Structure 1
């Protein structure tokens, strides 16, 4: 069985790479989070055997990583992943300009957040005589969330809702309740990186199905469900992160029915479902097509990332099981956030209008910036968090490394995939203020010129396993 490092690098393509190229690729994996600080790397002997390289070459790779501060050798304790500087301290080559972080695709808070907070205080004060614990969530908030599902075409009652501390928190609760180590999990390729990490942490084996800006291969997805019969499937059907695609209405019922036939529980991530710019149509939630679908959502993308509040929608039997497990690691969601969310959801049209306006401005800024970069084009982006660029060649990792030299934190395409693929793809958030976006794209232009000029490692020196 291959080590995690070799899965990311790609054993076949590493055969002819120099020690310098291999160390650069491992460094790239560390910088974009695919290898974590403190993680143990394979021994020199084991890595040499996996990559079919000489022991001296691997020793040289680790020497380079250690000298640059990306590895820590412990006597008798192996080699650990390290960083040469504090997280976030990325010394740019332009003399210390402030870094711009494109690894987070999220807007700042809605203008109505302050007023909603003020209006929520009397409701919070009225609960001072209670215990303050809210395992399932405030009834009024659960009712508001249920009503929103019903308005979108999935009839829902408040007892089908659990309020969580964010969508990822909800996903981890679901996996802690129904997860089965060693089973398969269907995931989109690409997808939300932290979902992949959560599934791996719970012992799942990934089974990927492709998604691009023009959508899903529905036949591949359904065939995979029937052949692999994964225990669970994780999908983002509306304004998919990172591609921005939306699953067609006619495919939703067929996929839901196929998953049910295969015995697969679908976990549907709806954190991006309300991020519409100009899609031109409104699909029904996947939950409308099968009672077995589990939906997770969040206020973080439509209101503010600082509001750690999300929800789970599930059948009543599963809700009972989730509530039985939840106290083992959490006793509920903060009441203040719940009270604020009630106020915000009460004026959903204003919230949606703000989101649309901000995303439209962000999309326009990205498109304007890309016009000044030869070889890059703005893809169709009708909504969602980001533009999913096709670089035309497997240079995303190189571009990410070059961008850091210009004070730009830019996760490469493989960060959103399993197995280190999609190195010709790049996610650019459309969520930053336009002026910040234009500054980021200008730094991207400088990094792109470095890659095109050969100022960073040649594409041929990078692992070909990252080519799709």
Structure 2
């Protein structure tokens, strides 16, 4: 497919309009390189011509020409006759890190900030005991429930209905976590008849995905054969946000079949798609025949007072929604679900049988038990996360005041902007100081984001209180390191 075009006005809006420190061509090139590294100008996009950028920035054609020449020398753009200048990332000796599971088993002195996962809810053990007492009723059967236990499907369908998306239990499919649901949904959606492929050859395999986003979702989509179309979230004074007009322009250029979106306390930024934009997003996706997979894994984790927002399932009848108990009850339960449009239930269920034959019965019973006390458990989880978020934010502001930090209204992590593009080397330096970190490029579908770092606040309070001094010491080391850190992506737990 042809590379999506980033217009001159948009580039100027991203990098600013000066003043341009002399020599201006170096300042301009540095601004464009920083935007590429941060993921604001996506890899694979076609830059405007030198003349167009000169007009948009108020600089001379000579200045933009020299800036492009410098960007070519630094391998941030590749220019071919007739194809223009396409954005890329500089080559890395040894290649970029692939989707590898982050090593586990940190020793007792280390603080592991690689995973956004809570400790177990207080009643987990009791829920297992009650579930075990009910397991006997299921033992005479085969134990296979590809659609899920009826009792759990009914509870989940009821919650969707009460949120404003009327749902029949037959529309619910129980999976092994939300990632399992994503894998099933994407495989089913990409397995379409030619007349459903938006009228473009190959478009049936394209999936729109936000940048940054959840790293394991990137691996899952690619594993399903998807060709990823990266949509960079905007960044401003209020944090990351969605520009629906820019998304629509990208959709028009690339014609994706599906999309993977996290509108509710987005991972990793914590951003929340406001109520006012939800109908606009729905209109764009419906109008262009894009069937989205909406990840609601974090939808319960609004930490500040806020009115519940309309679920996207109520606005896009043809959408698939995935959710999970991992973020509110405990990751070890490993139970997730899909809410599927009625007309797609049979097709999605058949696709599921190509991956597995259902989630474990005992864990489904445990999830049903926990759902019975859902509101109390979630309220306790929110209270703990709110205090942890505020503690970690205070740590960063006290120890690293030069870092830019916008505290999210929900979710499980802070997404901090570094003064320099050094999250890769920071993740290396941190190990010496007893911290495990995940560098920003892990969250980038098309590379970049080395200026960002995700900092979960799900570890115990005693550990959070030590993050500030350890992170500050690691940052001091990272600033003096000449070795580049990993700029590719590594699969992480959550």
| TM more than 0.5 | yes
Q: Does 1:334 align with 2:360?
A: yes
Residue number among 175, 178, 186 corresponding to 1:164 in the alignment: 175
Q: Which moves more between the two structures, 271-280 or 432-441?
A: 432-441
Are 2:289 and 1:263 aligned?
yes
Over 3 Å counting, the alpha-carbon distance change for 1:29 and 1:355 in structure 2 is farther
- 1:126 match: 137
> CA separation in 1, counterparts of 2:409 and 2:219?
28
Structure 2: stretches of 5+ with no match in the other structure = 2-42, 45-70, 77-89, 192-201, 490-494
Give the equivalent residue in structure 2 for 1:178. Answer: 189
Q: Which residue of 2 aligns with 1:55?
A: none
Among residues 196, 217, 220, which one is paired with 1:198 in the alignment?
A: 220
* Per-residue deviation, 1:126: 1.7
CA distance in 2: counterparts of 1:441 and 1:431, whole angstroms: 15
C-alpha displacement of 1:283: 0.5
Provide the secondary structure at the position in 2 that maps to 1:126: helix
* C-alpha distance in structure 2 between counterparts of 1:222 and 1:399, whole Å: 36
Q: Deviations over 1:225-280 (max 9, x none)?
A: 23322111010000000000111112112211211221111000000101111052
Task: Indicate yes or no: 2:74 matched with 1:13.
Answer: yes
Deviation of the 1:376 alpha carbon = 2.2
Matched with 1:67 is: none
Deviations 1:178-226 (A, max 9, x none): 2257722111110001111111122222222222434211221222223
CA distance in 2 between counterparts of 1:292 and 1:444 reads 45
Q: How far is the alpha carbon of 1:400 from its aligned partner?
A: 1.4
Say whether the 8 Å CA contact 1:366–1:378 is kept in structure 2: no
Separation in 2 of the partners of 1:101 and 1:145? 32
Q: Deviations over 1:99-135 (max 9, x none)?
A: 3221111111100111222222232222222221111
2:351 match: 325
Q: Is the 8 A contact 1:216 1:247 kept in 2?
A: yes
Distance 1:150 1:215 in 2: 28
Q: Which residue of 1 aligns with 2:426?
A: 399
User: 1:409 maps to which residue?
Assistant: 436
Give the match's secondary structure for 1:328. Answer: coil
* Distance across 1 between alignment mates of 2:172 and 2:110: 40
SS for the counterpart of 1:306 is helix
Q: What is the DSSP-based 3-state SS (H/G/I as helix, E as strand, rest coil) of the residue aligned with 2:332?
A: coil
Instruction: Name the counterpart of 2:321.
Output: 295
Trace 1:312-391 onto structure 2 (pairs within 5 A).
Answer: 312-370=338-396, 371-391=398-418
User: Contact between 1:12 and 1:465, CA under 8 Å: does it hold in 2?
Assistant: no
TM-score normalised to structure 1 length: 0.78
Matched, 1:209 2:231: yes
* TM superposition shift of 1:465: 11
Decide whether the 8 Å contact of 1:28 with 1:397 is kept in 2. Answer: no
- Cα distance in 1 for partners of 2:118, 2:93 equals 31
Structure 1, unmatched stretches of 5+, are: 2-6, 16-21, 38-85, 91-95
Distance 1:462 1:104 in 2: 20
Instruction: Specify whether residues 139 and 358 from structure 1 end up closer, same or farther in structure 2 by C-alpha distance, changes over 3 A only.
Output: same
Query: Residue 286 of structure 1: which of 308, 312, 328 is its match?
Result: 312
Tell me if structure 1 keeps the 8 A contact 2:303–2:409.
yes
Tell me the residue number matched to 2:11: none
Instruction: Say whether the 8 Å CA contact 2:230–2:446 is kept in structure 1.
Output: no
Distance 2:105 2:135 in 1: 39
Query: Do structure 1's residue 113 and structure 2's residue 120 form an aligned pair?
Result: no
How far, CA to CA, are the matches of 1:223 and 1:144 in structure 2?
39
| Aligned equivalents of 2:465, 2:370: Cα separation in 1 | 30
TM-score (norm 2): 0.74
| Cα pair 2:163 2:311 within 8 Å, conserved | yes
